[in-house]
């Protein structure tokens, strides 16, 4: 429970989780369920969480609500069309056991992988190639890569 709302986590097959691509980052054919453990850090370094997971998520949600980015920037970075109507239609078909119908529902705008995704999959919301993403020099003032003078691109990436 965060910000006065009950939330439900729903597990769906990878082929229906287009909006979850930034978390999966892999092809549908690959195993995309990941288990992460901090056991080694706890054992070797004596690490312990400062706050629990639920409290951390609640605090993060509160911070995000109080520090909302501009809507256009948020949509560009997340590349999530926030198409809840389509998500609901997919879930309704899936809950009825009709995986075929659920997988045939089209998004109004195909979700991307997130602006900062650099994985091997083509990002539907970002037409740049990997070479284009990695070309140029990093400008810490603009917080992005900028073209080199003369438009030169490095030969090796």
- pLDDT recorded at residue 81: 73
Let me know: does 14 contact 26? Beta carbons within 8 Å.
Answer: no
State how far the Cα of 37 lies from the Cα of 52, in Å rounded to an integer: 14
- Which pTM value belongs to this model? 0.52
- Position 92 pLDDT exceeds 90: yes
Rounded to 10 degrees, the C-alpha dihedral 38/40/45/48 comes to 30
């Amino acid at each position: 429970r965060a910000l006065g709302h009950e939330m439900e986590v729903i597990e769906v097959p990878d082929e229906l989780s287009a909006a979850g691509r930034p978390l999966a980052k892999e092809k549908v054919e690959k195993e995309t369920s990941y288990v992460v453990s901090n056991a080694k850090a706890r054992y070797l370094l004596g690490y312990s969480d400062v706050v629990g997971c639920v409290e951390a998520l609640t605090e993060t949600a509160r911070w995000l609500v109080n520090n909302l980015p501009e809507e256009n920037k948020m949509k560009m970075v997340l590349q999530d069309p926030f198409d809840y109507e389509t998500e609901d239609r997919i879930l309704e078909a899936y809950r009825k056991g009709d995986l075929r119908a659920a997988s045939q529902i089209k998004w109004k705008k195909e979700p991307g992988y997130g602006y900062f995704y650099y994985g091997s999959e083509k990002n539907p919301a970002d037409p740049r190639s990997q070479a284009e993403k990695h070309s140029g020099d990093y400008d810490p003032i603009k917080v992005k890569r900028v073209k080199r003078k003369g438009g030169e691109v490095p030969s090796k990436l």
